[in-house]
Amino acid sequence: MFVVAATTHVGRAVTTSVRGRSFEVAPMMDYTDRHFRYMFRLLSREATLYTEMIAANALVDPRGSRRPELCASRLEGFYGYDDPYGRTVLQLGGACPTQLGAAAELAAPFGYAAINLNCGCPSDRVAGSGCFGAALMNDAPRVAACCEAIASAGVPATVKCRVGAVDAVRDLDGYPYERLRDFVGEVARVGVRRFQVHARLAVLSGLSPDKNRKVPPLRPDLVARLVADFPDLEFVFNGQVDSFDVARHRLDLYDGVMVGRDACKRPWYWTSLDADLFGRPTPVDCRRELLRAYADYGTRVERRDEGGGRRKKKTPRRALLKPLLNLFHGDPGAAAFKRRVDALAKEGPSLEFGDLLARAADVLPDHVLDAPPVRHPPVLADASRSSSSSEMIMMM
C-alpha cells in the first residue's frame, strides 16, 4: 500500500506570477473538480487552478436566500478545496446580481484567491436556456452589475469571456472589435481588473461546446488590441495553448496564459512548469511518488466519508480515480494502467484505495514510474515568432 504523510488546508489568497505573469488551468465542467485540482497541485505549486463552474442558483434562490437543503456538508461539497498555496479560483455561473452576490458571500470564508464570472461557456444549457455564460457577452451592463455584487463579498471579481458572441456560424466574419472593447470597458468601470480571454468568438446556436472550441478561428489579434487599449488591466490568454513554447510566447505578450483540455489530456507533460516558467523546484520527482501522495489523499477522502454518517454523500471511487487515468499518456503501459484501474475499481470498497493504486501501478515499467519530469527549454519556432510579431504590432 502507498503511504505518504500529507496535510492540506484552505490557503489564503496570494498572487500567482512569474515576473508578474501567471499560468492558469481553465475551469472545465466534468474535469477540474476537487480531485483533479489536488492531483494537479501535486505537479505544480505555482499554477492557478479553477473550480468547475458552480451555478449560483444551486446555492441560493433569486432573492439571495440560501436554499434550505444547503446544509454545511453540502456547502463544503460545493466550495471545499485543498490548496495550501492559496492559488485556487472559484468560478460562478449566473446572470442575477442578487444570486451571485449571495453565492459569493457564502464562498468568502473559504479563502479563494478570486471569484470568476463565467461569460464564455457557449453550451445550450448555459448560454441558451440558462441565459448566462457566453450569452452575457451581449449584456455588458448586467455583467458589470454581477461583478459588482460578487466583489461586495470582499473577494476580487474576475471575468472569463470570449472575444465576442454571435448567433450563428454565418456571423463569424466581420465581428467588430469595438463591441469587445466596449464590453471590457463597461465591466472594468466597476473595478474588475483581470480578464481571462478565450481568443475565439462564441457561436450561441448550431455548434456543440466541442465545436465551439474548434470552428471559430483563433483571434489573438483581438486580445492584443485589448492589451493596447487597456494598459491598466490584466489579460490572460486562453485558446490553443498546448505546449511550453506556445505558453512562453503568450506570456511574452500577456499577463498570463491559460491552458485547457491539454492539462487533462496529458497532465504529466506540464509537471516542469514550476521549473521552466517560474524558476522554482519541481514539487514531485516521478509518477511513483505522485501516486503515493495521491493514494494518501484518496484514502483520507474515503475515511472522511465513512465517518460522516449515512446522510453524508459519499465520494464515488471512480471520481477519485479519474484524474489519474491520463497520467501516463503516451508512455508504455498507459492503456494497461487504465484497464487495470477500471478492473480494480469494480472490486468495491473491500480493496483499500492505496492498495488499488499500487496494484494498478504494477503493470507499468519501472523506468516509466521513476522517470523524472521532462524539462522543456525555450525553442523559438518560426511560426511562433511570426505569430508573436503580428500580435506585438497590434499592441504598438
Cell of 284: 514531485
* pLDDT attached to residue 350: 87
pLDDT digits (tens, 9 = 90+) for 175-230: 999 999 999 999 999 999 999 999 999 999 999 999 999 999 999 999 999 999 99
Catalytic, 121? Answer yes
Distance CA 206, CA 188 (A): 31
Per-residue confidence band for 10, with pLDDT thresholds at 50, 70 and 90: very low
Per-residue confidence band for 249, with pLDDT thresholds at 50, 70 and 90: very high
| Reported pTM | 0.90
CATH fold for the domain made of 22-278: TIM Barrel (3.20.20)
Three-state secondary structure call for residue 46: coil
Instruction: Decide if 22-278 and 287-369 have a common fold.
Output: no
pLDDT digits (tens, 9 = 90+) for 32-55: 999 999 999 999 999 999 999 999
* pLDDT attached to residue 305: 86
* pLDDT attached to residue 13: 33
Percent of the chain whose pLDDT exceeds 70: 88
Residues 150-166: what's their mean pLDDT? 97
Element (H, E) at 90: strand 88-93
Element (H, E) at 166: strand 165-166
Q: One of 96, 119, 121, 264 is an active-site residue; which one?
A: 121
Three-state secondary structure call for residue 348: helix
Distance CA 134, CA 136 (A): 5
Distance CA 59, CA 66 (A): 6
* pLDDT attached to residue 212: 93
In the chain, domain spans: 22-278, 287-369
Per-residue confidence band for 11, with pLDDT thresholds at 50, 70 and 90: very low
Is-contact 155 193, C-beta < 8 A? no
Please name the amino acid found at residue 127: A
**By mean pLDDT, which of 170-179, 275-284, 385-394 is the weakest?**
385-394
Architecture of domain 287-369: Up-down Bundle (1.20)
Per-residue confidence band for 4, with pLDDT thresholds at 50, 70 and 90: very low
pLDDT digits (tens, 9 = 90+) for 274-316: 999 999 999 999 999 999 999 999 999 999 888 765 556 778 9
